[in-house]
Structure 1
Amino acid sequence: MAGMALICAVAVLTTPGTAFASPAEPTPGKARSLEDVRKEIDRLYHEAGVATDAYNAAEEKSKKQSEQIVKLARSITKGQQKLDKLKSRAGAAARAQYRSGGMPSEAQLMLSDDPQDFLDGAGRMRQGAKATKGMLTELGRTQEDLRIYAKDATAQWKKLEANRKAKAASKKKIKKKIEAAEDMESKLEKKELERLRKLEEEAALKKQTAWVSSGVLKDIKGKATGKGKKAVEFATAQIGKPYVWGAEGPSSYDCSGLTSQAWAAAGRGIPRTSQEQWKQLPHIDIKNMRPGDLIIYHQDASHVGMYLGDGAIVHAPRPGRDVTITGAGSMQILGVVRPDK
């Protein structure tokens, strides 16, 4: 657990303020520090993460709507087949009546002089009238069902198109933010890139240090459930795989793609996005959290990691980074949710 001990270390590292020429168009005559560049890159990736959550949400809605459209199409097909059969039966009855000169055979039997034939004919007339009424009622009901199915299918198509546009807008925003961040990084020299990475680690460790120093870990003693252990095993097995927005594995993940797939592997389906995980899953007090619980980050619930114990999480950080273990307090914690409560 040496890695965990390092994560929970309480040594505060200061951040140097060395100035570098800014690749992000600084105020004329004023160079921005590499720390300012780091914050700007963090902001861009955070905004890309928010857009990624919106993209994933629209993707999930599109899947559900597509499935609903398929079900409606099947219902329409069955309904049309039923309608065709009913029309065929109605047509056969009409043709039989036409051949008998417009008088049903049962009515003709009622005119018979034979009392038994008369009684039989009367009974068949009542049965025929009842059957005809039932067929006409069923015909009308089937036509109404088809109308409703068609209306619902049209509504689902409109929703599907709206989500397609929402996905396209989110995708465009994601690419724009990531490209801007990558452009800033590409303009840095090798030593600056190395220093930038170190600044990121120092900023994360500083936040983790403050979190651990608060004494929060003293109260956290929860043990993982069977499903929780399976979820943790799956998530940690993905360490080293790259972050790719919208990805759900098996070769790459985004933050909520990792957590949702980990719990799916444990036999528990949970919402796809971090925001929906925050909205729909039971909230847990930090002092009661246990391995397998999900920690939601930032006020907009745009990031999520899986708690491992000992103050650490496993998560997919952002574009350009791999699935890794880091301090649970290294980012702003919104709250904790439990998939298997």
Structure 2
Amino acid sequence: MGAAKRRLLATAVACVVAVLAVPGVAFASPEPTPSVSAPGKDLEAVREQLDGLYHDAAVATDSYNAAEERARKQSAAIVDLAKKIVEGQKKLDELKKRAGAAAAAQYRSGGLPDEAQLLLSDNPQQFLDGAGRVLQGERAAKGLIGELTRTQEDLQQYATDASAQWQKLEADRKAKESARKQIKKQIAAAEKLESRLEEKEKERLAELEREAAYKAQSAWLGTGVLDEIKGSASEAGKKAVAFATQQIGKPYEWGAEGPKSYDCSGLTSQAWLDAGHPIPRTSQEQWKQLKHVDIKDMRPGDLIIYFDDASHVALYIGDGTIVHAPRPGRTVTIAGAGSMPILGVVRPDA
């Protein structure tokens, strides 16, 4: 396929899916959207305000997901430490029994140390045999004392580590709750703002959203970037794309990782988990930890990270398009790769 045709296809796909993705739009009607009472500039301001509210909700969602991921790891670490403490206590009890048995044996021999009993012996062979046993006994005693000391130190360290993990877990619980409140606050504000609009105003607002996405995608394609993107998907990338596209139509839900709903990074992380490559849970950690690649080297399956704060992520599927979970009130859908400000591209299976 020629470069010009690829650009045309990408633009056409972006336009079609944008129409299909926005609720309340009459796809078959050739008639233009009727004008509404509110001035266009006012609705444009509403659109920008909604974008800001949903963006802030996305940032809070990333914080919530990050705290949730840390809490999972901390809980697992606490369970592991608890097992070590139980095992260590059993070992310590056994060592104490051995030490007690040694003390009882010494008591039965008259309370004299082995060294003293050896010096009192008048049998040369007994003396020589006893010297070896004393040496062995000293080594065994030192080994037992050393093992007791190490086990007690290990138990103390396990307890200290467990206490630290509990403190971190509590901090992340608070961070999760704070993020949860922020998410609900931002979404409630957006829903309240939209509820004030009349039906025709909502239709016009949806049209403004499509126009903004189309304008951004057209500007991106206008740079000729699609002429340079020729990479083919890896086998794992094909599996990730297949998984993500199978989720099309499922609702966005913050904090969700499927199978019935997803947030943006929940979709991408599950797609790559299905492909056999576990990746970080959040878009910000995906940006931080995965290999960065130039846009011209992008291939299907790669992740495109959006906005300066890496608050959104989508999976590139080829021909200038992505599949992603956009925001609350929307479903997993296909869109133009350049319809939002691109921060960069990362590759999970580099």
- TM-score, structure 1 length as denominator? 0.91
Deviation at residue 3 of structure 1 after TM alignment: 7.7
Structure 1 position 70 matched with structure 2 position 88: no
Deviation at residue 155 of structure 1 after TM alignment: 0.9
Unaligned runs of 5+ in 2: 1-5, 16-31
Corresponding position of 1:294: 303
Corresponding position of 1:28: none
Q: 1:8 to 1:310 in 2, by over 3 A?
A: same
Q: Distance in 2 between matches of 1:16 and 1:218?
A: 38
Return the structure number with greater relative CO, CA threshold 8 A, min gap 6: 2
Between 1:244-253 and 1:66-75, the stretch displaced more is 66-75
Unaligned runs of 5+ in 1: 22-30
Corresponding position of 2:183: 174
Deviation at residue 189 of structure 1 after TM alignment: 2.0
Q: 1:101 to 1:17 in 2, by over 3 A?
A: farther
Structure 1 position 263 matched with structure 2 position 272: yes
Corresponding position of 2:12: 6
1:78-97 alignment to 2 at 5 Å?
A: 78-97=87-106
Between 1:68-77 and 1:110-119, the stretch displaced more is 110-119
Structure 1 position 56 matched with structure 2 position 62: no
Q: Distance in 2 between matches of 1:96 and 1:296?
A: 72
Between 1:305-314 and 1:211-220, the stretch displaced more is 211-220
Matched residue type, 2:305: I
Corresponding position of 1:202: 211
8 A Cα contact 2:57 2:183, kept in partner: yes
Q: Distance in 1 between matches of 2:37 and 2:101?
A: 92
Q: Distance in 2 between matches of 1:280 and 1:243?
A: 25
1:53-110 deviations in Å (ceiling 9; x for gaps)? 0111111111111111111111111111111111111111112222222124675466
Q: Distance in 1 between matches of 2:247 and 2:166?
A: 37
Q: Distance in 2 between matches of 1:86 and 1:3?
A: 75
Deviation at residue 8 of structure 1 after TM alignment: 5.2
Q: Which aligned runs of 4 or more in structure 1 are off by greater than 4 angstroms? A: 1-5, 14-19, 104-107
Q: Distance in 1 between matches of 2:283 and 2:316?
A: 14
Matched residue type, 1:6: A
Deviation at residue 298 of structure 1 after TM alignment: 0.5
**Aligned length, in residue pairs:** 329
Q: Distance in 2 between matches of 1:180 and 1:199?
A: 20
Structure 1 position 191 matched with structure 2 position 200: yes
Deviation at residue 38 of structure 1 after TM alignment: 1.3
Matched residue type, 2:185: K
Deviation at residue 16 of structure 1 after TM alignment: 10
Q: Distance in 2 between matches of 1:39 and 1:72?
A: 49
Corresponding position of 2:168: 159
| 1:20 alignment partner, one of 25, 38, 49 | 38
